[in-house]
Amino acid sequence: MKLPGAVLIMAAACLMSVLTLREKKQRQAGGLSLAAALELLRGELSSGAVPLSLGIERASAHASGFGKELLIAVQEGLRDLGERSFDEIWDKALAGTDPWLEETVQNELRKLGSVLGRFDLETQLRALDACILLLRQQWERERNAYPEERRVWIGLTAGLSALLVILLY
């Protein structure tokens, strides 16, 4: 009876490690895709006198991952622009990012929603640049921390397995 229980506990620990590491990789990819989507939007807006709605539409066509989802959610929300402000539309589209973005990045993204479409082009581009920079910095920190976190999770799993072997035999 001890052996099947030990095997199940070790399997659960391995699964927990794999899922945690996979989630960390997905967070990295999400932040990177969001930065890429904002870069596309910046390119569309800086290329000329393109209205914000058309810039969002064009950028969403070429974006991927979470960045694409964000731009599509904003694009769909623009249908209600008369009933709701752009800030509300932007905040609703950002709602799914809160758990994995750092607080400074979240705040900068919220500020971006209040700048887009309201101020002159240079102010909008500076706000986009600030968000892109913060997203890239967060991605870089997470990418640098990942190998150490991976070693920790693998070590925890190995340690738990060794402890079970010692306790049960």
pLDDT classification of 169: cutoffs 50, 70, 90: low
CA distances (Å), 169 to each of 11, 13, 155, 163, in order?
Answer: 18, 19, 21, 10
- Residue 42 corresponds to which tokens in the numbers above? 């910046």
CA 138 to chain centroid: 10
144, HSE (Cβ side, Cα atoms, 13 Å):
6
pLDDT classification of 65: cutoffs 50, 70, 90: confident
CA angle 53, 36, 57 (to 5 degrees): 20
pTM of the entire structure? 0.72
pLDDT of residue 99: 62
pLDDT of residue 166: 76
pLDDT of residue 38: 82
Residue whose token pair is 């990418």: 143
Portion of the chain with pLDDT greater than 70, in percent: 95
CA distances (Å), 143 to each of 31, 38, 88, 137, in order?
Answer: 11, 20, 32, 10
